[in-house]
Amino acid sequence: MTKVKICGLQEEVHVRAASAADAAGFVFAPSRRRVTVEQAAHLADELPGSVEKIGVFVNAELDEVLAAVREVPLTMVQLHGDETDEFIRSIPVKVIQAFSVRDIEDVKKLEKSIADYVLVDAPGIDFRGGSGRTFDWSLLEKSSIDPARLIVAGGLDSANVGQAIGSLAPYMVDVSSGVETKGKKDADKIKSFIKTVKGDSMQQATGTENVTGFFGRFGGQFVPETLMKAVKELEAAYAEAKEDADFQADYHKYLKEYVGREQPLTYAARLTEAWGGPKVYLKREDLNHTGAHKINNAIGQALLAIRMGKRKIVAETGAGQHGVATATICALLDLECVIFMGEEDIRRQQLNVFRMKLLGAKVESVTKGSATLKDAVNEALRYWVTNVEDTHYLIGSALGPHPFPTMVRDFQSVIGRETREQILDKEGRLPDVILACVGGGSNAIGMFHPFVGDESVRLIGVEAAGEGVDTARHAATLTKGTEGVLHGAYMKLLQDENGQVQEAHSISAGLDYPGVGPEHVHLEDIGRVEYKAVTDEEALASVIKLSRLEGIIPALESAHAVAEAEKAAAAMGPEEILIICVSGRGDKDMATYAEKLEGLA
Amino acid sequence: MKRLKDLKDNGDKAFVAYIMAGDGGLDKLRGQVEYLQTTGVTAIEIGIPFSDPVADGPVIEEAGNRALAEGVTLDKVLLEMESWDFNLKIPLIVMTYLNPVIRYGAERFAESCKEAGVSAVIIPDLPFEHQQLVEPYLKKTGITLIQLVTLTTTENRLEDILAAAEGFVYAVTVTGITGVRDEMTQEVQEFMKTVRSKSPVPVYAGFGISKTEHIEMLRDDVDGFIVGSAIVKAFHDNKIEDIEPLIHAVTQRNPV
């Protein structure tokens, strides 16, 4: 959720009104809103610890800044002058560097900033601290700046802030004159502004900073008491790691140097021509090391496990892609690795079983129940309950008790963030439709999350209809499921009228799961994402199509998204843009393809 | 559930027997309850089968699968219990995973439990934080929701959970799932002492209790024992009389 900063506070009554915000700004530069260090220290006392205290300076001496940091104390420093990189490096707290944006040259300048965050404002008139005028937001839409570093200021008020968030999805919005009446702060306007940003329904869809770990009604921590300590510890460790720049840098280093990111957003010319509708782009998660998106999450969680002092990893796997990703990262980081896999899946995905063993993982066959992913999760949970003190459970999808659904989503969001930048770069605008397949839903949530705030972008999740949603053999949980609790979360399930969880069916082992991540259920519930189901047969037809038209053999899972994309494209025009997340490549499915597609080759 | 407190006040130890409802057919349940009553157990825990029993080991999971194959459901078990007309002197406790309760409806579940003569309910995958989903309805019908504490329960949590405890506290003796164990560690003994010193209600040890040695080791530090897998297995093997020495080791004051 976008954070709120109320800037230029001078009086206690306004500071108290701002206590529901995420940050409060104190101006130490020449301005009618200027305060002394003593005044700021007094005002900061009124604020809860969770609110950032930010000092605003224009070309101040370093000693003056350091003294304010120490004495208020400030948790962040915001610089509006001509401060050098060396100056920024000398500041012991996080730094926001402010830029006046008039044209594209200004945007290029801010892209080079070494500060933790960049604040964008319209050019000032009388002083350099900010002008209260809006700037041309479209200048930033084409910028390569990570929205997670972006703070938007400049003439925001309750009326236009929604638009700013919608078009830029910034980390924070900064308001000052927009919450004033006749040049003085107005407590009612401050409260109303915070409510507008935080209470906006589109933003609620992205909001997961909920301490109890619910997405709307869905999610939670429904685990046996023995696991509560581990789940709480993980929650705390992740919250800390998420904010730790070193952890994030480490994670991104592995994504770049080991996984091979960023992955291209490939224009699919022949598919575009064949479908005769929108321009079609493919997000190429199939090019990741180990062949699918799963490794994005495996790396993040493995680094977190090490940070928590746990060097043993247990994981479940369906298609084997998550198992391979986990075994790979465990080999790389010298971690002990046990993978539970259903007997039926072991049969379907022998090549991946061999890969895991080759990588040094212990693969445990699960013969219970349907002997597929659900039963592998049960066994992995039992193993975790028994070995919880030294073992991390590396869940492979956006499932399980909080914080797993949020954490997996965050680690997979690199997919959507890259896609957003790439499409803005190539087309200068956001796409009209994005599709991704949904089993537990990790590639889909990673792709969708950075676009959830963009109302103009239609998001479609594609489930497995197996032999048809009206048969007993499908895995279309959102289409046909009902609410219930499984594997730690309140979500949607395929279950009978007595609450017994049913077996799912899909030709694709990765979609063969009778639940779906709680955030997806919430996004469906509020109507933000549409969920469709595609049959085994339709998916196989799309495997052939994508292979022959684009030279890309997709995983069976990803082929479901391709099949639904074809249907969506039929109703779209040539001026529109459609993106498909190709979550993985088809190597692992070659045996199935050989069996099912014989005669076509 | 008052009798559990009386038992503790008299210095006697409780024995709670767990059975899987419908293992071998739902028509067996009545006879199993009647038999256990004659052996002198303090209370009986009736397990509801579930497709994904992640807190349970293989013995109970397999018993649950057999019951599911017999078509046993939460609804059928409660109706069966409601039909009993024999003289039942001991409390009955229902143990079920959360999902069947949600599907059945928490309010309706509480009402049906009352009609079935249930005194308390245990839901192993409903942690303290989320008990609002079910507890208010149980309270309205006068049924106790039993709290579980484990070796990994942190100190602050332990205090919160114990403050809400009624009936008895289910103290889990192992970091793991249900099932027969050979060893009980010193750590378990210390844990039981801590829980008992803080608990306002009797403390019963469960998970892995299967031998008279376990009982001897923990006897002085708990108010009772819950035995599951060993009983489920004995019923399944038609050797339930073999379990009597274990029951007597708990319930008889000076076991020989």
Confidence category of residue A140, pLDDT binned at 50, 70, 90 = confident
Return the residue matching tokens 């990189």: A85
A211 in contact with chain B, both atoms CB, cutoff 8 A: no
Q: How far apart are CA A330 and CA A217, in angstroms?
A: 35
- Helix locations, B13-57, DSSP H: 28-39
pLDDT over 90 (residue B180):
no
Highest mean pLDDT range out of A125-139, A389-403, A501-515, B206-220? Answer: A389-403
The answer to whether B82 and B116 have CB atoms below 8 angstroms apart is yes
Cis peptide before A503 (omega within 30 of 0): no
| A389–chain B Cβ distance below 8 A for any pair | yes
Is the confidence at residue A85, as pLDDT, over 60?
Answer: yes
Residues of A in contact with B125 (CB under 8 A): 222-224, 485, 488
How far, in Å, CA of A99 to CA of A174, rounded? 13
| Residue A294 appears among annotated catalytic residues | yes
When pLDDT is cut at 50, 70 and 90, the band that residue A17 belongs to is confident
Q: How many CB pairs under 8 A join A and B?
A: 113
What is the arithmetic mean of pLDDT over B246-250?
Answer: 94
Summarize pLDDT for B31-88 with one digit per residue, the tens.
999 999 999 999 999 999 999 999 998 999 999 999 999 999 999 999 999 999 999 9
Active site (annotated) includes residue A418: no
Whether the ω angle into residue A403 lies within 30 degrees of 0, i.e. cis, is yes
How far is residue A212's CA from residue A405's CA, in Å, rounded to a whole number? 12
Question: Do β-strands A312-317 and A336-342 pair in parallel, antiparallel, or remain unpaired?
Answer: parallel
Per-residue pLDDT at A600? 64
> The whole model's pTM is what?
0.76
Task: Say which of B56, B80, B135, B223 is annotated catalytic.
Answer: B56
- What residues form DSSP beta bridges with B122? B95
Evaluate if residue A281 carries a pLDDT over 70: yes
On whether the CB atoms of residues A434 and A454 are closer than 8 A, the answer is no
Alpha-carbon distance A119 to B226, whole Å? 62
Q: Which of residues 425-484 of A touch B (CB under 8 A)?
A: 482-484
Q: Which residue has the higher pLDDT, B175 or A416?
A: A416
Return the higher-pLDDT residue of A264 and B185: A264
Q: Is B103 in contact with A368 (Cβ distance < 8 A)?
A: no
Q: What pLDDT band is residue A332 in, cutting at 50, 70 and 90?
A: very high
Per annotation, catalytic residue among A180, A235, A285, A316: A316
Average pLDDT over every residue of A122-136: 57
What letter represents residue A196's amino acid?
Answer: T
| Rounded distance between C-alpha atoms, residue A69 and residue B151, angstroms | 44
Residues 37-66 of B with CB under 8 A from A: 50-55, 57, 61
Q: Which residue among A191, A283, A294, A532 is the active-site one?
A: A294
